[in-house]
Structure 1
């Protein structure tokens, strides 16, 4: 006899596991930022510098950074003359970002929102000219959640605007090791990572112009990443 599926609105076991992992990751990042203030330092990342150049060449003025943490890239973008809205699900990280903006005299150029990217972005349609996310998309997000997120990015980005993001990929040494959570997500040292394959990059570029997929390395191990640049059709 066939087994009935979940009723409308009913949470499945897989969804419950995803929610539990998301909650654990929020708490892990909260503790991490609290225990290690300014853990990534004051200097912007190489992808942050690249994004600033791309946005400037496109005439962007308003920029959204997703997963801004304590703000090394958001503050750099503000110093470069952009109006920056920074989001993160860690209030601790964003408090450090706001303090940094005050100290640098950039409070008028930086706004923040505590936000989980699984939810609707807290911006109006066509609100920004560029979106940047350094290793945010390769956190503990399912493929369905990533597709919804990129749809939201397309909603808040003006036509012709650019999205720059970085992700760890399946060529990384940590891929396939540690604690497996399914769907390409593996956990090391409390940090859960969704390792991208090229098919996922192409899926998230559907309806966009895929400008570049650039391979690079960062940090110890070293981490192996892709920097993806895609443009919303005008």
Structure 2
């Protein structure tokens, strides 16, 4: 993609405006992948969770309410401000920290410093395949041996795949939102060197959107 930096910057501005215009746009209930992830994390005795692309925090707050310590990152300061306000209102602010971060850059965490990582719809944003691969490498770096990574992405079986404005690299834009639709071979490539536990197909929201929920662990 020749327009990767420009597209990513445009998407950042778009999300800023969206969170400002629609505070708490995804509601307060956690996503289905977050509910699943909490069960998985609990089953392996994880205590601290890093969420990538936390937005206004519905999933980060759920993890905190479930007793996890949460580090929430996003590239939108507006979304993170809404998350912090909600954490105080729900009485879980002592278990939640936030950091503004662009996932095209290295994660601001030490090696082997977290038990679990969660990302819902973050990996299928306007990121190139190369950037996604680098990000998953960073996730592996910050996870402790045996740590778990759960992420959910829209895939190439989705209704919107192949339509709208094409940006190359399986990225298509609809209504101002650009999505990198995942083919199965990309999921498998991202799991190389990991233990791939599950690729679960599910649907969410209107259309409906078609996604995969992937669970993989860093070998001990």
TM norm structure 1: 0.93
1:26 partner SS? helix
User: What SS does the aligned partner of 2:54 have?
Assistant: coil
How far apart are 1:127 and its partner, in Å? Answer: 1.1
2:60 match: 74
Aligned: 1:181 with 2:167:
yes
**Matches of 1:104 and 1:226, distance apart in 2:** 30
Q: CA separation in 2, counterparts of 1:117 and 1:204? A: 16
Q: After the TM superposition, list the runs of 4 or more consecutive aligned residues in structure 1 that deviate by more than 2 angstroms.
A: none
CA root-mean-square deviation: 0.6
SS in 2 for 1:233: coil
Give the aligned partner of residue 3 of structure 1: none
| 1:188-227 matched pairs, under 5 angstroms | 188-227=174-213
Tell me what 2:7 maps to.
Answer: 21
1:102 partnered with 2:110: no
Q: Corresponding residue for 1:6?
A: none
In the alignment, what sits opposite 2:33? 47
1:148 to 111, 134, 146: 134
Distance 2:194 2:72 in 1: 23
Q: Secondary structure at the match of 1:49?
A: helix
Q: Secondary structure at the match of 1:141?
A: coil
**1: CA distance between counterparts of 2:51 and 2:179?**
19
CA distance in structure 1 between the partners assigned to 2:164 and 2:65 by the alignment: 39
Quick one: distance in 1 between partners of 2:102 and 2:191? 22
2:153 to 151, 160, 167: 167
- Name the larger-Rg structure: 1
Partner of 1:8: none
Distance across 2 between alignment mates of 1:121 and 1:42: 27
Tell me the secondary structure at the aligned position of residue 207 of structure 1. coil
Q: How does 1:113-124 map to 2 (within 5 A)?
A: 113-124=99-110
Please state how far the C-alpha of 1:156 moved relative to its aligned partner: 0.5
Question: What secondary structure does 2:161 align onto?
Answer: coil
Give the number of aligned pairs.
Answer: 220
1:186 Cα deviation after fit: 0.1
Q: Distance in 2 between matches of 1:135 and 1:206?
A: 21
